[in-house]
Amino acid sequence: MLRRQFLRLVSVGFALCVGLFVMPLRAASGTPSLLDTLDKGLKARRPEDFNFIIIVVDLVARDILTRAEVMACFDYARRRDLNQPMRYFVPAIKIQAKKAGVNL
């Protein structure tokens, strides 16, 4: 009985130490980059998909498209189809780029 209480106390203490010291370091890492968000969130698989995402990130870096416009298209694509959102992202971002005067 005493051994169980000791193990419980040690495990709770270990969990508190992890919560106090490790979690703030993980939280300080910040948000992922736009490239990582689009790669993972759109489930890009083909080289053409990765190249298209790089072009979109470059347009955001050059202030031709805003991050808000890209994220709106990203959210739209994920709402339409969670398994293959790239199918909906490409036409949506092309429309936004055309409004900005860029032909993708």
pLDDT tens for the chain, 104 residues: list them.
577 776 666 655 555 454 555 555 555 567 788 999 999 999 989 999 999 999 999 999 999 999 999 999 999 999 998 899 999 999 999 999 999 898 88
Alpha carbon 72 to its chain centroid, in Å, reads 13
Predicted local distance difference test score (pLDDT) of residue 95: 93
For residue 88, what pLDDT is reported? 95
Q: Hey, is 44 helix, strand or coil?
A: coil
Q: What is the pLDDT of residue 14?
A: 55
**Residue 65 backbone zone (phi > 0: left; psi -120 to 50: alpha; other: beta):** beta
Confidence at residue 48, expressed as pLDDT on a 0 to 100 scale: 93
Q: For residue 38, with 0-12 CB atoms within 10 Å meaning exposed, 13-18 middle and 19 or more buried, which class applies?
A: buried
CA distance 3 to 9: 10
